Structure 1
Amino acid sequence: MKVLQYIATSSNVLKTFLYDKGISRKSLSAIKQNGALLVNKENVTVRKIIQEGDEVTVYLPNETPSPNLEPVKMDLKILYEDEWFIIVSKSAMMNTAPSREHRHNSLVEAVLYYMIQNGEQTIPHIVTRLDRGTSGIVIFAKHQLLHHMISETTVNKYYLAVVHGVVKQKYGKIEAPIARAKHSIIEREVSPDGKFAHTEYEYLSDDSQNSMLKLQLFTGRTHQIRVHLAHIGHPIVGDSLYGYKTKGIGHQLLQCYNVEFEHPITKNKINIIDEMHYNLAAIDML
């Protein structure tokens, strides 16, 4: 059972104190049912009045995996791990989570297997996810509580992409609303009826045919980078959905290579960098 410990700095109702620490009402309800709340090592209710200097201990409930998940043994490239998070590098053509077309052998099932083997009594919760054809960093929280404390909107995510054509503008901002394409349940498109989407890019290099870009997401729309780059006339190499098929390349050359966020428990700044998966030299055969 995972444990949180705090020292009160003023008088307060315990429930309010825990809300201020980022514990949601849903999480607190689960803690009351299957966890425990202690003040100075004595069991209490959420109505307890705590005083400055009191030691507050929260025992988080254990978690049971969904029967829809099948733990699978895989070689995981772990970039960071502590009691609360595990951050791994996903290869292209692997699902982050099961889908109708690919029901198992997903990354979350591999992380679940790893956690079970390490004696964890909780389950992985996907904080950031990547398309099947996109590689790079994926963040998992090791408890639902942490999943409520952090989200994709609180994580700075940076990507690398190899795109068709020479990008002449060294820095660019793309603000174009994205909606589901009317003719498809999968494809997205820039549309005045869509939701606001904001991507920024920095030109890194080119080989006179293709360019390497660094990108940052400021919103998290489905296929956002792929749609935005196609919108400005530079679809990602290998992206047959928003560009065109490329001989010898079966997926888009897009990688989440850097994430930054504040750890919700320790308050430390976490900065994770994955090694570069793609470069212009890798597509010289085009």
Structure 2
Amino acid sequence: MNDGVRIEIDPKTGIGTILLDRPDQRNPLSTNMMRAVTTTLRDMADDERVRVVVLRASGPVFSAGHDLSEMIDRTIEDERVVFDVCTEMMDTVQAIPQPVIAAVQGPAIAAGCQLAASCDLVVASKAAVFGTPGVRIGLFCSTPMVAVTRAVGRKRAMQMLLTGETIDADTAADWGLVNIVVAPEDLESRTRELAVKIAASSPLTLAIGKQAFYRQIDLPQDEAYKLMAETMAANAVTCDAQEGMTAFLEKRTPVWKNE
């Protein structure tokens, strides 16, 4: 794509890769790039070859955040477009049926940190750092705050937001922003290993589970149990669930039909 996004689909593994590819500019999330990512995510959502999506970036920086050149001397209507496009992209990451794994090789800053936090899973290189430093340039990271707070909790999010300081990959893992921290040279292989493991499950079951997770996460416990009991009952009568349970009892590998 000419919007700073490259795409690769491996039908053998079921992995679809989205690559942010403006390394010379530190992969800024311009409106064109964000729209391209959103469109690609939706295309992959409808592609039966794709069971897991990996979001990567080229160069030493995952993403430095919004393209600030788009935000100088603009009207409030123009600024709203930037953040509406951003919100749509973040929502789409969680709305598509396939799990999305961020492979973070370097700094993920401001909206770049938001993008990583919005992904279902994050594998980070030890060279990665995460931060929401907008306060230092007079633009509080209010939209990144939504995703980051849900990942790390109130006090830790406020620390990042108010100080603008970055945290390293190990701290990000300890705080719940990152799942796995690896040596830089192992990032690609470890991410692929995780994606392949996930892709081995029924696509339908993964889609049901991902949607259910985000539906229940902020509900009171009694409402969550009620909704999830019904979700699990509906899941249990699908062909793939019946096949999976039967295969387990028969001690064989299940054959998924995605139905």
Q: What range describes the TM-score normalised by the shorter chain of this pair?
A: under 0.3
TM-score (norm 2): 0.25
Structure (1 or 2) with the larger CA radius of gyration: 1
More helix by share: 2
More strand by share: 1
